[in-house]
Amino acid sequence: MTFGDLVSEHRRSRPARVAVVDGDVRLTYVQLDDRVNQLANGLLAAGVAPGDRLAWIGQNSFRLLELLLAGAKIGAIVCPVNWRSSEAELVFILGDLDPAIVVWQEQELGHTALAARGAAAAAGVATRAVWLQHDGDASAGSAEGSYESLVAASSADEPDIEVHGDDPLLAMYTAAFAGTPNAALLSHSALIVQNLVIGRVQDITDETVFLNSGPLFHIATFMSTNATLHHGGTNVFVRRVDPEEMCQVIEAERITHAVIMGPTLGAIIERNASGVHDLTSLWPTGDPNDNRSTIVTPDSAPWRHRPGGYGQTEVIGLATFLALGSASDGKAGRASPAVIVRVLNDDGREVGPGEVGEIVVRGPAVMNGYFGRDELNAERSRGGWHHTNDLGRREADGSLSFIGPRTALIKSAAENIYPAEVEACIASHPAVREVCVIGVPDAKWTQRVKAVIVVRDEMTVTDDELIEHCRARLASYKKPSIIERTTALPRTQVGFIDRQAVDAGFGGGGYPGLLPSY
Amino acid sequence: MTFGDLVSEHRRSRPARVAVVDGDVRLTYVQLDDRVNQLANGLLAAGVAPGDRLAWIGQNSFRLLELLLAGAKIGAIVCPVNWRSSEAELVFILGDLDPAIVVWQEQELGHTALAARGAAAAAGVATRAVWLQHDGDASAGSAEGSYESLVAASSADEPDIEVHGDDPLLAMYTAAFAGTPNAALLSHSALIVQNLVIGRVQDITDETVFLNSGPLFHIATFMSTNATLHHGGTNVFVRRVDPEEMCQVIEAERITHAVIMGPTLGAIIERNASGVHDLTSLWPTGDPNDNRSTIVTPDSAPWRHRPGGYGQTEVIGLATFLALGSASDGKAGRASPAVIVRVLNDDGREVGPGEVGEIVVRGPAVMNGYFGRDELNAERSRGGWHHTNDLGRREADGSLSFIGPRTALIKSAAENIYPAEVEACIASHPAVREVCVIGVPDAKWTQRVKAVIVVRDEMTVTDDELIEHCRARLASYKKPSIIERTTALPRTQVGFIDRQAVDAGFGGGGYPGLLPSY
C-alpha cells in the first residue's frame, strides 16, 4: 500500500466527496485522482524516474497535494521548499536535491525563484531540472512550461509503476542548528502509519474539513493535511496566513480543523471581536478562552484535551503525546503508539529515570534518513535507533520531559555540559523567569558555565542560592560559576531564546557542540 | 519496531500500570516484561530458533499473552490452537505446524491433548516438540516439563535476537470451508498497524481494562487483546465463557471493554436482572437495550456508534468498518484506513458499482500468507492483492456490501454462478424470509439453479414472480429455474444456513466451486 493508493481508494469509496478546495477550485476525489494521474503521466513523459526529486517552490496550494500524490504514484520524492528562503538558500537546495522538476510560483516568489534558477545554472547545479510555473497566467493551462499545460496534455489512466511502501516520498528540510540543512526522507509507510496516529489524536474522519493555512514546508501543518487526505476528508488551502481571508474561508467552508499558531489566533479573535464571521464550525464550544491558544482544535476526542508533545520532522511531527497516560509528571507525555523511545547517555547506554540523556526513537513513523547524507545517517541511526539530537529525561512515573537540543554543548575540561539541562534546573527555581546558559572562555577549564538570568518581578535570589539550587540537583561540574542578571533575553523571530545572541552579548565562547555535521 | 518492543516500552513508560490480571495473578508491566524475558530465554535454552512455531493448546490465560510476547522477542511464531479441536484435528495441526514447543493445559483439555501427543508420536509427526504444561500442579513452578519451571529457571535479561517487523508472529487457523484448515501468518508490523486502527475504533487507551472472555484462538477477541497491550491498558483473562464468573470479574476489575457474543450477553443480562452486580464500568449508559447486542461496547467514540464491518482472520479481523463514511448504502461500510479494497471479476478486472465480484485487499494489515502453503499463497496473492474468497459489491455511494463466500459455486454450462449473489437477490424480495440456492444436476447444462425458500408468514409469492424478480436484477443465466418451498432451512451449530445439508436434502449436485485447495 502506497500513499498514492489513498486517492485511488477514495475515488471508489467516496466518489462525490470534495477532496480539495482552493479559491475557485473545488475537486471531488474522482476529479482529484484524474488530475493526479494526468500529472503523474505528464511527469513520466518529462523523464521523471523513480527516486527523482520534485521540488515545490510555492506557497500553499492544492497543486502541492497533487504533486505529492503524483510523485507517490510514480515513486518520486516531493520536496516543499521553504518559500521564505533567500536566493542563496534556494541555490543550495537546488544543488543539494538536483531535482528533475521544479514547480514554481510567480506571485510573491517569482523574482527570487527565477534569480535562483539563473544562479544555479551559472553555478552548474540542478541543470537538468524542468521548471513548471503553477500560477498566474500559466494556470490557464496553455502556457509552455506550465504545470497546468502538462496536466491538460496527459492521460488520466492510472500509471503502472511499481512503488514500495518503504520508498521515500516526502523530503522536508529540517532546521540547521549549524552547518547546512538536511532533507528528512519520509516513506509512504511512515506517512501512512503516522496518518493513523494523527487521525486519532486530532479526531480526523471523512467529515473533517481541514484548513491548510500554516506553511506546508513545515510538518506541523502537513501531517494534518496527509491525515485528512488519508481519512477521506476535505483539504482547504489558503496561500499563506492572512487572518481576514482565514475568517472568510472558515465561515464559507465550515472548517472543522486547522493548525493555527498563537499570534494568528490572536489576530483572528481580534478581527472577529464583533462576531461578523461565524467560526463555530472550528470552535464549537463558543468560549473564546477555551484552549484556543493550543495548536489543535479542542473537542471531545480524548487525546485532544491535552494536545502537544515532543517531536521533530524526522519522526513526522510528533513522537510523544502529552495526553498519553492518565497521569504525567513529564512535560512531553509518553511515546506515540507508532514509536518506542529510550533515553541514552553518550556511550549509548540507557540512563535511569531522573537522568538526562539523548532521546532516541525507533518505529514505523521514523524517517528513512536524510537525502544524500550517508555518513550523517549512519551516525544518527547507530545501534538501530534514530538519535534525535535532543535531550530528554524520563520521570519517575515513566513519562518523558523534553529538555532541549543536544547540539548546544559547553566543554569544561573533559566534561560535556548541555546548557539545556542546566537551564531546566535553574528555571525550576521559583524566582527565575528566563535563563540562558553559556560557556565563557577559561584558560584552565576551556569553558566555565555562566547563567544569564531574568528574575521575576518582586522576587529575589542570590547567586549563591542559585548555585546551591543547582549543586543539589546536578553533578557539581554542571553548576554555573558565574551568574549575570539582565532585564530580558534576546529572542529569535519565532520567540525562542536566541542562544547565539546571548553567547555573543554576555561574553560566551561559542558552543563547541554545534558541530558542522549536525 | 516489533511486537516485543511494546512491552519493553511500557515497562519504562508505565512501570506501575497493571498489565494482566488472571485469577490471583496480577502483574505490572515491569513484572510482565521480566517474565516474558525469562520465558524467552528459557525457550532459547530449549532450542527454539527464529521462525520456529510455539503451539498453545489451552484456554484463555495470561500465559498465552506471555508466550506471544516471548515469541515476539525471539522471532518465533505463536499459534493459539482451537481448544475445542478433536484428537484427530490436533494431530493434523501438530503435523502441519511441526512446533518446537507445545504449551498445554491439563484442566478440561489434558486427556485430548495427551492423546493427540501420543497419536502424533505414533504417526511420526511433531516429534521434536517439547511439551510444557502450564496449569494445575505444574503451575507451581517446580514440575519437570512445566511452563512455570522454565520461567523460574531463566534470566530476566532482554534477549538479544534480531527480529524484523515483517517477520510472522501470530499464526491463526482459519475455517476450512473445504479441505484442510490453513494457518494465517500475521506479522509484527501488520499487528502493530491493526492495533492503531482497532485502538481508535474501540477507543482503547492505557485506561482500558479489557476482558478476555471470548476464545483467543479467534481473531475477534485477540485483535482487542493486542490493541489493549499496545496502548498500555490492562488485559483481564477468564479461562472460558462463564456468565457468572464474567459478572464477578466485570464488577471486581471495573472492566471497560469486552467482546461478548449475543447468547452470552443475553445470559449475563438475565443473570444480573436483579442488579446484584455493578456492571456500569462496561455499560455506562445504564440502558440494557442500548446496543448491547453488538460485539463491541457502545460508547461515545465516533466509529463505535455503528460497530462491525467486513473482515476475516487473514486481514486481522476487520478490513472495512460500517461506521466509515457519513452515509453508507452498503452493509459493510468502507475500507479501514489500513487497507484498500477492490472488487474484481474472475478475470481479475475491476467490476463497477452494483456488480458482484471477489473482494480483494491490499495494505499493511494483510497477512504474510498461510504457513507452508506456497501454492495457495501464490494463488491468493496474485497480482499483488490478497484474494479474500468472499464476494462483495460496491454500491453507488462507494460503500461496500459483503455478499457471501465465493467458494460455493454452481456450474451452468460455461458460466460460474455464485449462490450467494442469487440468494442476496432473492432475499431482497419482501415475501422471502430465508433462501438457499443450489445446483441440481442437468444433462445439458451440468447444473441448473434451484432456490429453496421459506416464505414469510401471511405473505405469498409465485414462482414466476420470484424468477421475474431475479431476471430484472441479474444476468439471465443466474436466475433460478426451479423454486421449492419449505418451512425452515437446516442450520449449522453457529446459526448459518447449512449449505451442504440443503444441497443434500433438496436434490443438489454439490458445489464444484468448493475446491479442496481452499
CA triplet A35, A36, A37: central angle to 5 degrees?
Answer: 90
Residue B293 binned pLDDT confidence (cut-offs 50, 70, 90): very low
Residue A300: per-residue pLDDT: 39
- Contact state of A189 with B364 under an 8 Å Cβ cutoff: yes
The 10s digit of each residue's pLDDT in A44-85 is 999 999 999 999 999 999 999 999 999 999 999 999 999 988
* Chain A residue with Cα closest to B363: A1
Give CA–CA dist B11/B19, Å, rounded. Answer: 10
Partner residue facing B362 (CB), from A1, A15, A342: A1
Listing DSSP states for B79-145 in one string gives EE--TT--HHHHHHHHHHH--SEEEE--TTTHHHHHHHHHHHHHHT-STTPEEEE-SGGGGGS-STT
Q: Do A1 and B326 touch (CB under 8 A)?
A: no
A337 with B230: Cβ contact below 8 A: yes
Q: What are phi and psi of B85, to 5 degrees?
A: -60, 150
pLDDT of amino acid B300: 39
Write the DSSP string, A264-314.
Answer: HHHHHHHHTTT--S--TTT-TT--TTSSTTSSS---S-GGGGS------GG
The per-residue pLDDT for A122 is: 97
3-state secondary structure of B363: coil
**pLDDT value of position A305:** 53
Contacts 24+ apart (CB under 8 A), A118-121: A119/A87, A119/A88, A119/A91, A120/A90, A120/A91, A120/A94, A120/A95
- Asked if the model's pLDDT at residue B177 lies above 70, the reply is no
**Whether the predicted pLDDT of B301 surpasses 50:** no
Q: Give me the mean pLDDT over the A419-433 stretch.
A: 90
The ipTM assigned to this model is 0.85
pLDDT at residue B171 greater than cutoff 80: yes
Instruction: Give the helix ranges, DSSP H, for A98-203.
Output: 110-123, 147-152, 188-201
Measure the CA–CA gap between A322 and A307, rounded to whole angstroms: 6
Query: To the nearest whole angstrom, how far is the Cα of B357 from the nearest Cα of chain A?
Result: 15
- Is the model's pLDDT at B237 over the cut of 90? yes
Interface test with A, best of B208, B340, B381 (most A CBs within 10 A): B340
Q: What is the pLDDT of residues B13-50, one digit of tens each?
A: 999 999 999 999 999 999 999 999 999 999 999 999 99
Of A483, A478, A488, residue with least CA distance to A465: A483
- Residue A257's DSSP bridge partners are A210
Grid coordinates of B35:
517474565
Best residue in A5, A6, A9, A28 to probe B by mutation, most B CBs within 10 Å? Answer: A9
Q: What is the DSSP code string of A381-430?
A: TGGGSEEEEEEEEE-TTS-EEEEEESS--EEETTEEE-HHHHHHHHHTST
Mean pLDDT of chain B: 89
Looking at residue B179, its pLDDT comes to: 59
Q: Of B155, B461, B239, B200, nearest to B318 (Cα)?
A: B200
Beta-bridge partner residues of B75: none
Helix and strand counts by DSSP (H, E) for chain B: 14, 23
**B181-206: average pLDDT:** 94
Distance of alpha carbon B15 from alpha carbon B310, whole angstroms: 37
Q: Which fold has domain A313-405?
A: Luciferase; domain 3 (2.30.38)
pLDDT of residue A332: 84
Higher pLDDT, A307 or A200: A200
**Structural Rg of chain B based on CA atoms:** 24
Tell me which chain A residues have a C-beta less than 8 angstroms from the C-beta of B13: 325, 334-335, 341, 394, 398-400
Task: Please say if the pLDDT value at position A89 is more than 60.
Answer: yes
**How many Å apart are CA A23 and CA A26, to the nearest integer?**
8
Distance CA A450, CA B502 (A): 88
Confidence band, pLDDT 50/70/90 cuts, at residue A446: confident
> What is the predicted pLDDT for the residue at A327?
63
Domain ranges of chain B: 29-187, 241-305, 318-405, 410-505
Is pLDDT of A438 > 70?
A: yes
Average pLDDT over residues B264-272: 83
Nearest CA to A244 among A211, A275, A268? A268
Confidence of residue A307 (pLDDT cuts 50, 70, 90): low
pLDDT above 90 (res B516)? no
What is the tens place of the pLDDT at every residue in A338-349? 999 999 998 999
Buried b (16+ CB within 10 A) or exposed e, A70-89: bbbbbbbbbbbbbbebebeb
Chain A positions touching B334 (Cβ under 8 A) are: 13-14, 206, 232
Q: What is the pLDDT of residue B305?
A: 53
Residue of A nearest to B353 (CA): A12
Short-list B167, B155, B156, CA closest to B1: B167
With bands split at pLDDT 50, 70 and 90, how would you rate the model's confidence at B494?
Answer: low
pLDDT of residue A306: 62
User: Is the per-residue pLDDT at A463 higher than 60?
Assistant: yes
Residues B368-379: tens digit of each pLDDT? 999 999 999 999
Is A30-188 a domain of CATH 3.40.50.12780? yes
Helix axes A62-74, A3-13, angle to 10 degrees: 110
Q: Which of A120-129, A187-196, A293-302, A457-466 has the lowest mean pLDDT?
A: A293-302
Helix, strand and coil content of chain B, in percent to the nearest 5, comes to: 35, 25, 45
- Whole-number Å distance between alpha carbons of A391 and A356: 7
- CB within 8 Å of B245: residues ≥ 6 apart: B238
CA-based nearest residue to A361, from A330, A396, A335 = A335
Topology at the third CATH level for domain B410-505: GMP Synthetase; Chain A, domain 3 (3.30.300)
Nearest to B68 by CA among B118, B14, B7: B7
A205, B341: Cβ pair inside 8 Å? Answer: no
Q: Which fold is adopted by the domain B29-187?
A: Rossmann fold (3.40.50)
pLDDT number for residue B83: 93
Long-range own/partner contacts, residues A224-229 (CB < 8 A, 24 or more apart) = A224/A198, A224/A257, A224/A259, A225/A65, A226/A3, A226/A191, A226/A194, A226/A195, A226/A198, A227/A194, A227/A195, A227/A198, A227/A199, A227/A202, A228/A204, A228/A257, A229/A6, A229/A7, A229/A19, A229/A65, A229/A69, A229/A195
Residue A296 scores a pLDDT above 60: no
Residues in CB range of A78: below 8 A, 6 or more apart: A53, A54, A56, A67, A68, A71, A72, A169, A170, A171
Please give, rounded to a whole number of angstroms, the shortest distance from the CA of A160 to a CA of chain B: 12
State yes or no: pLDDT of A518 exceeds 70: no
Q: What pLDDT sits at residue A120?
A: 97
Q: Give the chain A residue whose CA is nearest to the CA of B199.
A: A200
Question: How many Å apart are CA B15 and CA A353, to the nearest integer?
Answer: 11
pLDDT at A500 over 60: yes
Q: Is the pLDDT of residue B512 over 60?
A: no
User: How near does any CA of chain A get to the CA of B505, in Å?
Assistant: 41
What's the rounded Cα separation, in Å, for the pair B335 and B224?
Answer: 19
A325:B362 CB<8 A = no
In this structure, what C-alpha cell is assigned to residue B239? 479461562
Is any Cβ of chain B less than 8 angstroms from the Cβ of A200? yes
Q: Is the per-residue pLDDT at B127 higher than 60?
A: yes
A59 and A105 in contact (C-beta within 8 Å)?
Answer: yes
Task: Give me the phi and psi of B238, to 5 degrees please.
Answer: -120, 150
CB neighbourhood size of A275 (10 A): 7
State the nearest Cα–Cα gap between A164 and chain B, in angstroms: 11
pLDDT tier at B295, thresholds 50, 70, 90? very low
Whole-number mean pLDDT of chain A?
89
**Per-residue pLDDT at B432 exceeds 90:** yes
Q: What is the CA radius of gyration of chain A?
A: 24
Question: In terms of CATH, what superfamily is B318-405?
Answer: Luciferase; Domain 3 (2.30.38.10)
Bridge partners (DSSP) of residue A482 are A450
Identity (one letter) of the amino acid at B499? Answer: R
Per the DSSP assignment, residues forming a β-bridge with B415 are B412
The C-alpha of B87 sits at a distance from chain A's nearest C-alpha, in angstroms, of 41
CA A391/CA A362 separation, integer angstroms: 16
Exposed e or buried b for every residue in B146-160, given b needs 16+ CB within 10 A? Answer: bbbbbbeebebebbe
Per-residue pLDDT tens over the stretch B70-99: 999 999 999 999 998 889 889 999 999 999
Mean pLDDT of A302-331: 77
Please list the residues that pair with A401 across neighbouring strands.
A393
CA gap B92, B396 in Å, rounded: 45
Q: A181 or A120: whose pLDDT is higher?
A: A120
DSSP letter for A146, please: B
Among the residue ranges A397-411, A429-443, A501-515, B306-320, the one predicted with the least confidence is A501-515
A464: left (phi over 0), alpha (psi -120 to 50) or beta: alpha
CA distances B518 to A419, A431, B155, B186, Å, are 65, 74, 44, 19
- How high is the pLDDT of residue B416? 75
